[in-house]
Amino acid sequence: MKNNYNYTGYYDVSLIKNKLFEIDEKEWLVHTLRQTQFNAHKETQTIELMWDISSLPSNERGKIHPNFYNFKIESMLVDLKSMYEEKYGKGDFIRVLLVKLKKHSSIYPHEDYGTSLQTCVRTHIAVITNPLVKFIVGGEEKYMKEGEIWEINNAVTHSVENKSDEDRIHFIIDYKMQ
């Protein structure tokens, strides 16, 4: 990827946003591996949907967790499939996470390493956000609006600043091309 960001498209996140307001806040505390394993993510919380640490080096599909079904992620991925195939070619979704960046906090500057993270297309879909949340990739700053899907160049230094009074929530989706 040559650019820091590539716009992929738009997805209506209203159903998922509503579901997020219904879940128990404890759901955000179940999976802490990313926060403890990767210092850059220590101020985040994660709901694992289709993800596990062993899927990172193997470039294989992550473990499907119960919230995959609770949030109807399969339906979302079916909706997104043609958009991703048109933009990136034939492939498969191999990892999906919901990541919350707490209010007045940051994801520290870092680069993602490993074959899988550098060979997959990593996209973010903003679910809950506002203009005081800034994504910085390769020194370029961007506000991702709700529903926008952006591919980011995760092989260069990137970070996120949430200077707002509300938590920011994004989907992180890894798409492996065939």
pLDDT digits (tens, 9 = 90+) for 94-109: 999 999 999 999 999 9
62 burial (CB, 10 Å; 0-12 / 13-18 / 19+) is buried
68 burial (CB, 10 Å; 0-12 / 13-18 / 19+) is buried
Which stretch of 39-48, 55-64, 111-120 has the lowest confidence by average pLDDT? 111-120
| The predicted structure's pLDDT at residue 58 | 79
CATH of domain 5-177: 2.60.120.330
Domain coordinates in residue numbering, the chain: 5-177
pLDDT of 141-168, one tens digit each?
Answer: 999 999 999 999 988 999 999 999 999 9
Identify the DSSP state of 54: T
